[in-house]
Amino acid sequence: MERYDLLYRLYDEFDVETLREHQSFVNLFPPVDSRVALDHWEDASDELERLKSAIRDALPGGATFAEVAAYADRETAFTALDLHARYGRAVNGLVLDVDETLRSAGGTDNEIPRETLHMLTALHEAGVPIVICTGQTVENVKGFMIQGLGNELVHSGSFSIVYESGNGVFTPGHGSETKRLLYEALDEAIRGVFDDVRSRVLPEAPRDVRRGCHLQGNEFNVTLKPNFETGSADAEAVIDDALVHLIDLLGAVAVERTGVEGADAGRGAGWARAHYAAADPEIREALEATASADATEPTALADVPEPVAALFDRIDVGYYRGDAAEITSLELNKVAGVETALDVLGVTDPFLLVMGDSKSDLRVMEWAAANDYGVAAAPEHASTAVLSHVLDRDELVFDRGGSARMLRTAYALNLLARLE
Cα separation values, 38 from 20, 25, 51, Å: 19, 12, 20
User: Do residues 71 and 22 lie in contact, with contact meaning Cβ atoms separated by under 8 Å?
Assistant: no
User: What pLDDT score does 107 carry?
Assistant: 58
Q: Of the residues 301, 329, 357, which one is the last residue of a structural domain?
A: 329
User: What pLDDT score does 39 carry?
Assistant: 77
Q: Note whether 301 and 365 are same-domain residues.
A: no
Closest CA relative to residue 87, chosen from 359, 379, 394, 401? 394
- Is 130 within a domain? yes
State residue 194 phi and psi, 5-degree precision: -65, -40
- Is 348 within a domain? yes
User: What pLDDT score does 31 carry?
Assistant: 61
Q: Note whether 322 and 337 are same-domain residues.
A: no
- Is 212 within a domain? yes
If one counts the domains in the chain, the total is 3
Mean pLDDT by 10 residues, the chain (420 residues): 90 95 86 72 90 96 96 97 97 96 72 94 98 93 94 97 94 96 94 97 96 94 94 94 96 93 79 93 89 58 88 94 92 93 97 95 97 98 95 96 96 94
100: left (phi over 0), alpha (psi -120 to 50) or beta: left
User: What pLDDT score does 123 carry?
Assistant: 98
User: What pLDDT score does 291 carry?
Assistant: 54
User: What pLDDT score does 297 carry?
Assistant: 56
3-state class of 173 per DSSP? coil
Q: Note whether 310 and 385 are same-domain residues.
A: no
Q: Note whether 14 and 107 are same-domain residues.
A: no
Q: Note whether 389 and 302 are same-domain residues.
A: no
Total-model pTM: 0.84
Q: Note whether 150 and 99 are same-domain residues.
A: yes
Q: Note whether 246 and 193 are same-domain residues.
A: yes
Count of all residues that appear for the chain in the document: 420
The domain in which residue 20 lies consists of: 3-71
- Is 404 within a domain? yes
Closest CA relative to residue 115, chosen from 410, 407, 409, 411? 407
- Is 82 within a domain? no
Q: Of the residues 15, 38, 71, which one is the last residue of a structural domain?
A: 71
User: What pLDDT score does 298 carry?
Assistant: 57
Q: Note whether 95 and 45 are same-domain residues.
A: no
C-alpha–C-alpha distance, residues 199 and 207, integer Å: 17
- Is 395 within a domain? yes
Q: Of the residues 311, 329, 347, which one is the last residue of a structural domain?
A: 329
CATH number at residue 170: 3.40.50.1000
Q: Note whether 276 and 299 are same-domain residues.
A: yes
- Is 180 within a domain? no
User: What pLDDT score does 104 carry?
Assistant: 83
Q: Note whether 303 and 315 are same-domain residues.
A: yes
